[in-house]
Amino acid sequence: MVERIRSVAGQGDGVLVGIGDDAAVLEDGLVVSSDMLVDGVHFRRAVLGPREIGARAAAVNLSDLAAMGARPVCLIVSLGLPEGFDALDELTAGLASHDVALAGGDLSRAGSLTIAVTAVGRAERPVLRSGGRAADVLAVTGTLGGQAASGYTAPVTPRLEEGAQLAGLARAMIDLSDGIAGDVPRLARASGCGARVWLDRLPCAPGATVEQAAAGGEDYELLAALAPGTAIPAWLTAIGELTDGDTVELLGASGERVELSGWDHFR
């Protein structure tokens, strides 16, 4: 679907990187990303409170900036509010909970709670998905599978500081919104490579299975490709490598191929 949109969208003056990365890169170091969260698809109001929903909506957008190595400037927030919604103050408090200014947006009536956030940041050297090379080490921040194990109720913490540090180390980067199984192929394809990931190396969150860590999605950790020989910081875990060709392999403990797919909104 993204490819169909990109084929007709064009790219205007001042847009250095358009559709296809975690964020658009504009002139003067501006980095811009947008995400939309819909009740019943990305969260459930019966499970998460309005402050938690707002915090999550902001965090998933800020995670895109982190994946580009950018520092946030502000958020633009548009809200579609269902009839009878009376928790606007709590929702807004959640949106503002990451200490990033809310600089504007829009309000509308909607059939279900809908939150569209545009995150604006700056980066001296944005890290793209396309910079990886064969033999680069693939490494991740934090732990994986925690969202799936919690029923997608755990708080989301955007890895902004880690992303800024990786801007000086990583050749390519992506945030893990759709799981290792979904996002490793995206980074590899953008870099013109294949990839190999050893599932027994994944840093599983407490209570998470390897399958949840690989395919559960919504973790919003960072996946980075580092040149061979790079000193890997202690807060990263090496899980695989980019390879020649275009094959992406997820390998079990005995080297067998494991077939998993990442999160898909339309499946």
51 and 90 Cβ atoms separated by less than 8 Å: yes
> What fold does the segment set 2-122 form as a domain?
60s Ribosomal Protein L30; Chain: A; (3.30.1330)
Token duo for residue 3: 């490819």
Which residues of the chain form CATH 3.90.650.10? 129-251
Confidence of residue 264 (pLDDT cuts 50, 70, 90): low
Note the pLDDT tens digit of each residue in 108-146: 999 999 999 999 999 999 999 999 999 999 999 999 999
Mean pLDDT of the chain: 93
The more confident residue out of 265 and 243 is 243
- Straight-line distance from the first to the last Cα atom of the chain, in angstroms, rounded to the nearest whole number: 13
Cα angle 170, 222, 136 (rounded to 5 degrees) comes to 40
Name the residue among 237, 239, 198, 204 with its Cα closest to residue 219: 204
Which residues of the chain form CATH 3.30.1330.10? 2-122
Instruction: Compute the average pLDDT of residues 63-77.
Output: 98
pTM attached to this predicted model: 0.92
230 and 170 Cβ atoms separated by less than 8 Å: no
Q: Does domain 129-251 have CATH number 3.30.413.10?
A: no
